[in-house]
């Protein structure tokens, strides 16, 4: 009964107008969320339908008869190795993120805390390249990757993004806020520059590192055109690139198309749910950095 | 600013090693930046003045590629294809960017009002953004199907959403908005949460209404966030390719072909016309930079007004 009592108390303490506004907000938000959710619901429901039922004129969201056939078909089709593509995407994205964080944080550490000749010049040369759209580098990058013999190799999709300067910029900004007194104390204790970087400064940068990890992971995961350019065989493609011709090979077989869509979304959904806390926090931080 | 260094005697490394260490720190990044950032830029400029199909030797042809692109020589079909694509990209940028600024803001304000379901609804709205563009296109290709599609079923219509104008563009906008609302929304929710609470209290004491509070407090306090999303969304929209290639295949009748698609097809779609494609990329890239630069200018002058 305490719930009812506290609810009564809640009602009494606020004006009618305030309550109406609150109710309206909730209603609108739930409505919007449903609109966003419905397409995915249809995809899941359709993936369990028989193809004849999908094309039925009296289509309903929930299937009359449930079947695993679409999933079995997709998973057994060697021309669309969705699981292999997923593995490729994950391997490439994780390798890219780890190297990206390592390279950019090392550079940011030197740019913000070490003194050396040409520091400012090198920093501003790399920063000014942020204004250059990536499309200009697309074709030469292919020539370079081909020249290195990396076509159809996962490193063709890992390496080019590592020259991105955004991470260096963000990390340098953050590291400048960490007092130099830490470094000096560690130096007196005989710590090397690398130890100061790894044991003192890097742990303090974890929030920014998480943000950068999310951004670079998503960038790598969702990259559509670059993997298409640097891969010739289906086995080396990423999920995003591999699925590009998927609809065409299952024209009007929507049960199978949706099974493919669900399969391609499941793993990343799992990662998202497990790391939702860090995801949302990390992304929020990204927008606040100046 | 770095402080004064302590006396050399207590440093672990000798003076010689010390001078190399900083360069070791920046080396991995700098090598990557030079190989995949600076060298390609120079290469792109050089290649744009040549005729080159990648297999036969490069031939210098001066400004010919640029003249072709601007329709000064040739039949003008290269120019019309390219500018057709640029026009479509601009159309996409001009319509999609405001959608992806205003709608997420609307959702973010709602979410901030509904504290009880804040986290849950953020997850719901963000979910489409974690999907890859091809998955999204496969999904919407089904929803928008003329006969079997859910949308025509709900609307009781038989609209050819993907194969007819203007529906093809409406479909692309619908899909892109569904896909993109979440990521900007999260930034806005965080921005609203960061408005100092005493400002709200002061406004409430003054009897300011919800609309008034939004325009006089929320928006001004979130200018940096909005500016950031504006730049990022604009750049993202300029690079649009997946939607046009997977959902509409550039059609109907090249009606949804974007600049990125024209450049991609020129370089990798059968005839490897690298010279012409590089020139197109440079012209398009400059256009993009101009847009971004103007937004920067706008922001700076806006800040000076305050």
CATH code where residue B280 lies: 1.10.3720.10
B283: nearest CA in chain A? A136
Percent of chain B surpassing pLDDT 70: 92
Q: Which residues of A touch B132 (CB under 8 A)?
A: 221-222, 224, 239-240, 243, 264, 268
pLDDT at B18 over 60: no
CA-based nearest residue in chain B for residue A219? B132
DSSP code string of B24-61: HHHHHHHHHHIIIIIHHHHHHHHHTTEE--SSSPPEE-
The shortest C-alpha distance from A136 to chain B (Å) reads 5
What total of structural domains would you count in chain B? Answer: 1
3-state SS record for chain A: CHHHHHHHHHHHHCCHHHHHHHHHHHHHHHHHHHHHHHHHHHHHHHHCCCHHHHCCCCCCCCCCCCCCHHHHHHHHCCCCCHHHHHHHHHHHHHHHHHHHHHHHHHHHHHHHHCCCCCHHHHHHHHHHHHHCCHHHHHHHHHHHHHHCCCCCCCHHHHCHHHHCCHHHHHHHHHHHCCCCHHHHHHHHCCCCHHHHHHHHHHHHCHHHHHHHHHHHHHHHHHCCHHHHHHCCCHHHCCHHHHHHHHHHHCCCCHHHHHHHHHHHHHHHHHHHHHCHHHHHHHHHHHHHCC
Contact B181/A at CB under 8 A: yes
pLDDT, residue A57, reads 67
DSSP string of chain B, one letter each residue: ---PPPPGGGSSS-HHHHHHHHHHHHHHHHHHHIIIIIHHHHHHHHHTTEE--SSSPPEE-TTHHHHHHTTSSSSSHHHHHHHHHHHHHHHHHHHHHHHHHHHHHHHHHHHHH-GGGHHHHHHHHHHHHHS-HHHHHHHHHHHT-TTT-HHHHHHT----TTTSTTHHHHHHHHHHHHHHHHHHHHHHHHHHHTS-HHHHHHHHHTT--HHHHIIIIIHHHTHHHHHHHHHHHHHHHHT--HIIIIISTT-STTTT--HHHHHHHHHHSSS--HHHHHHHHHHHHHHHHHHHHHHHHHHHHHHHH-
Q: What percent of chain A has pLDDT over 70?
A: 93
Separation between Cα atoms, residue A41 and residue A44, nearest integer Å = 5
| Segment 52-111 of chain B within 8 Å of chain A by CB | 54, 107, 110-111
| Cβ contact B25–A106 (<8 Å) | yes
Q: Are B6 and A187 within 8 A, CB to CB?
A: yes
**Interior CA angle at B38 toward B34 and B41, to 5°?**
150
Nearest-CB residue to A33 (from B47, B124, B267)? B124
Cα→Cα distances B252→A6, B172, B255, B257, Å: 60, 13, 5, 9
CB of A48 closer than 8 Å to CB of A66: yes
Residue in A244, A283, A290 nearest the CB of B183: A283
pLDDT tens profile B49-65: 999 988 888 889 989 99
The C-alpha of A26 sits at a distance from chain B's nearest C-alpha, in angstroms, of 6
pLDDT higher for A202 or B217?
A202
What's the distance, Cα to Cα, between the start and end of chain B in Å?
29
Using CA coordinates, name the residue in chain A closest to B2. Answer: A113
Angle B197-B184-B300 from CA coordinates, rounded to 5°:
75
Identify whether B228 is part of a domain.
Answer: yes
Position B174 scores a pLDDT of 94
Beta bridge partners of B60: B50
Can you read off the two tokens belonging to residue B264?
Answer: 């991609």
CB contact under 8 A, B19 and A116: yes
Mutation target to probe the B interface, by most B beta carbons within 10 A, among A74, A164, A287 is A287
Range from A93-102, B229-238, B290-299 carrying the lowest mean pLDDT: B290-299
Instruction: Provide the pLDDT confidence category of residue B14 given band limits of 50, 70 and 90.
Output: very low
- Which CATH number does A80-286 carry? 1.10.3720.10
Amino acid A284: pLDDT = 66
pLDDT, residue A286, reads: 58
Q: Say if the Cβ atoms of B281 and A139 lie within 8 Å.
A: yes
Q: Please indicate whether, in this complex, the C-beta atoms of A131 and B26 are within 8 angstroms of each other.
A: no
Residues written for chain A: 290
Mean pLDDT value across chain B = 86
- For B138, the closest of A110, A114, A261 (CB atoms) is A261
Burial class (CB in 10 A: 0-12, 13-18, 19+), B224: middle
Question: Is residue B9 a part of any domain in this protein?
Answer: no
Place of tokens 């090198």: A122
Is residue B257 included in any domain, yes or no? yes
Q: Which backbone phi and psi does B59 adopt, to 5 degrees?
A: -120, 130
Q: Note whether residue B123 is domain-resident.
A: yes
Structural domain containing residue B196: 81-305
What pTM does this model have? 0.86
Nearest-angstrom CA–CA distance, B4 and B6: 6
A21 touches chain B (CB under 8 A): yes
Q: Which tokens belong to A262?
A: 């669900």
The reply to whether ipTM tops 0.90 is no
Query: How far does B110 lie from chain A, in Å, by closest CA?
Result: 6
Q: At what angle do helices B77-113 and B167-193 cross, to 10 degrees?
A: 40
Which chain B positions have a beta carbon within 8 Å of A30's beta carbon? 117, 121
Name residues of chain A where pLDDT drops below 70: 1-3, 10-11, 13, 57, 282-290
Residue B74 Cα, gap to closest chain A Cα (Å)? 24
Q: Is residue B256 part of a domain?
A: yes
How high is the pLDDT of residue B3? 46
Distance CA B124, CA B182 (A): 8
Is B148 an interface residue toward A (CB < 8 Å)? yes
φ, ψ dihedrals at B12, nearest 5° = -70, -30
Which of A131, A135, A243 is most worth mutating to test chain B (most B CB atoms within 10 A of its CB)?
A135
Find the closest chain A residue to B228 by CA distance. Answer: A287
pLDDT, residue B302, reads: 66
Residue whose C-alpha is closest to residue A70's, from A263, A207, A203, A237: A263
Q: Which residues, other chains included, contact A218 with Cβ-Cβ below 8 Å and sequence gap of 6+?
A: B130
Does B85 score more than 90 pLDDT? yes
Comparison of pLDDT for B173 and A53, the residue scoring more: B173
């Amino acid at each position: 009964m305490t719930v009812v009592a506290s609810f009564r108390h809640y009602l009494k303490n606020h004006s009618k107008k305030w309550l109406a506004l609150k109710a309206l907000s909730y209603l609108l938000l739930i409505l919007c969320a449903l609109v966003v959710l419905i397409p995915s619901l249809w995809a899941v429901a359709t993936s369990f339908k028989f193809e004849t039922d999908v094309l039925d004129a009296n289509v309903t969201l929930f299937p009359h008869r449930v079947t695993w056939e679409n999933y079995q078909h997709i998973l057994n089709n060697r021309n669309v190795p969705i699981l292999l593509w997923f593995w490729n995407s994950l391997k490439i994205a994780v390798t890219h993120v780890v190297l990206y964080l390592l390279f950019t944080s090392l550079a940011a550490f030197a740019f913000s805390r070490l003194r050396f000749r040409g520091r400012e010049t090198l920093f501003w040369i790399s920063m000014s390249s942020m204004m250059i759209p990536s499309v200009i580098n697309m074709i030469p990058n292919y020539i370079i990757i081909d020249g290195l013999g990396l076509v159809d190799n996962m490193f063709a999709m890992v390496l080019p993004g590592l020259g991105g300067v955004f991470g260096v910029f963000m990390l340098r900004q953050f590291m400048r806020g960490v007092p130099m007194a830490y470094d000096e104390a560690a130096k007196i204790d005989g710590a090397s520059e690398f130890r100061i970087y790894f044991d003192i400064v890097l742990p303090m940068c974890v929030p920014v590192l998480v943000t950068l990890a999310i951004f670079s992971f998503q960038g790598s995961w969702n990259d559509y055109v670059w993997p298409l350019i640097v891969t010739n065989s289906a086995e080396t493609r990423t999920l995003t690139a591999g699925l590009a011709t998927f609809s065409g090979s299952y024209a009007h077989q929507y049960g199978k198309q949706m099974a493919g869509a669900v399969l391609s979304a499941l793993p990343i959904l799992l990662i998202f749910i497990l790391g939702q806390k860090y995801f949302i926090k990390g992304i929020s931080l990204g927008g606040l950095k100046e | 600013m770095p402080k004064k260094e302590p006396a050399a005697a207590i440093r672990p490394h000798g003076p010689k090693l010390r001078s190399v260490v900083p360069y070791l720190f920046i080396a991995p990044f700098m090598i990557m930046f030079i190989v995949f950032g600076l060298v390609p830029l120079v290469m792109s400029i050089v290649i744009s003045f040549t005729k080159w199909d990648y297999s036969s030797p490069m031939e210098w042809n001066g400004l010919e590629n640029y003249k072709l692109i601007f329709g000064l020589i040739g039949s003008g079909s290269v120019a019309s294809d390219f500018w057709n694509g640029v026009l479509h990209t601009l159309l996409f940028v001009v319509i999609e960017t405001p959608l992806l600024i205003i709608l997420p803001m609307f959702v973010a304000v709602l979410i901030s009002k509904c504290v009880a379901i804040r986290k849950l609804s953020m997850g719901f709205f963000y979910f489409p953004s974690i999907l890859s563009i091809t998955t999204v296109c496969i999904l919407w290709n089904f929803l928008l199907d003329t006969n079997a599609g859910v949308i025509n079923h709900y609307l009781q219509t038989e609209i050819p959403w993907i194969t007819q104008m203007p529906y093809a563009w409406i479909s692309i906008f619908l899909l892109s908005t569904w896909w993109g609302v979440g990521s900007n929304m999260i930034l806005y929710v965080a921005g609203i949460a960061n408005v100092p609470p005493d400002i709200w209290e002061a406004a409430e004491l003054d009897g300011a209404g919800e609309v008034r509070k939004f325009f006089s407090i929320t928006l001004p306090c979130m200018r940096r966030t909005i500016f950031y999303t504006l730049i990022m969304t604009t750049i993202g929209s300029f690079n649009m390719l997946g939607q046009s290639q997977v959902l509409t295949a550039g059609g109907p009748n090249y009606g949804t072909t974007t600049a990125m698609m024209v450049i991609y097809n020129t370089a990798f779609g059968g005839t490897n016309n690298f010279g012409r494609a590089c020139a197109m990329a440079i012209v398009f890239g400059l256009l993009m930079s101009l847009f971004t630069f103007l937004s920067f200018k706008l922001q700076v002058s806006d800040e000076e007004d305050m």
